[in-house]
Amino acid sequence: MQALQAIAAIENVENPTRRRRQKVYQKRFDPFSLPDIEFKRRYRFSKDTARFIINLVRQDLQLDSRGCGTSPELQVLTAIRCWGRREVQEDGGDLHGLSQPTVSRICARVARAIARHSATYIKMPQTLIEQQTVIREFQEIRNFPSVLGCIDCTHIKIKKYGGDAAQYYINRKGFYSMNVQVTCDAKLRIRDIVARWRGSTHDSRIFNESTLKERFERGDFKGRLLGDSGYRLERYLFTPILRPQNAREENYNRAQIATRNCVERCFGVWKQRFQSLLYGVTVHMHNVKPTIVALAVLHNIAIDQQDPVPENDGNVHIVQEDDSAAHSNEAGRGRMGNSAFLRAFIDQHFS
């Protein structure tokens, strides 16, 4: 062994110009070379929308100073494929020539880069003109006046959570989840999102401790929200009447439910585009919230770009959970205080 080392040392002295072999980077496949239909099937967006998203976060995903690594284009498309196609990270990595740990880091990095733009793409109507536009769009559905948003919660499945707090992540259906509150408009655009509560938390508690409720109580908005019977009846949040007594109340219920259906449709479109929301977000817990918020931003970008969900996803069956019955007793304690206000509203608009 010593003799071999001595020979190698002599060869290095005799050949001072001998250099270390340079690392060769494998040329990766360009997804934009795919036909438009195949590209959208794989990456959930059209090429134009994908380029818009890439340019939005390009500065946060730049290559290092040596010029090596994964390009912003491939980072974004790899993350979107993992989120949208219900693919495990190993499969997504194999398709793009990346290792599973690299794909995991890319998904976390891209999610945080997109989530930083949430204040731009997820916001309630600000000006009076914006609020009037949203109210008019809702009224066109079933002539329900003064609706600024529809609110509900949906459970996003997560990996099994360990430790003493694990039991709090188990929802009433028995799986680990985050209970995510969403408020949307008539165009199914997500206007507000709360993605920090564990699966066992009641919908009404999430709203009661939200900034959105504080803003409505301060009078920041001229309209009101529509929610299911899991929420407490407020002057700014109307819920269905559990036992209607006359035709006016039945008319109110029909209009309320038909208008509130926007948030159920919003969940359906959101989860159909990103099937990881339907089948489970398998990232580490500290990356769950940025991922959910990032997917909400991407959902709104798709609406802005008029980029519909791929048509060949009809085999995806989405069953939206209904927690209103489970939470109605908790929310019902506050119904009586505002029932007179609701009756006056019904008499005025649903006679």
Complete DSSP assignment for 187-244:
T--EEEEEEEEETTS-HHHHHHTSHHHHHHHHT--SSEEE--TTSPPBTTEE---SS-
Alpha carbons 185 and 180: distance in angstroms, whole number: 17
pTM of the entire structure? 0.85
pLDDT tens per residue across span 233-274: 999 999 999 999 999 999 999 999 999 999 999 999 999 999
Alpha carbons 33 and 283: distance in angstroms, whole number: 29
In sign, the C-alpha dihedral spanning 15, 17, 19, 24 is negative
pLDDT tens per residue across span 51-99: 999 999 999 987 654 445 788 999 999 999 999 976 665 555 555 567 7
Q: In a 10 Å sphere around its CB, with 0-12 CB exposed, 13-18 middle and 19+ buried, how is residue 69 labelled?
A: middle
Residues 6+ apart with CB under 8 A from 220: none
Confidence check: pLDDT of 31 > 70: yes
Q: Which residue type is seen at 215? A: R
For 161, list phi and psi in degrees, rounded to 5: -100, 130
Phi-psi category of 146—alpha, beta or left, where left has phi over 0 and alpha has psi -120 to 50? left
For residue 112, how many other CB atoms are within 10 A of its CB?
A: 16
pLDDT of residue 19: 59
Please give the average per-residue pLDDT across 318-322, as a whole number: 55
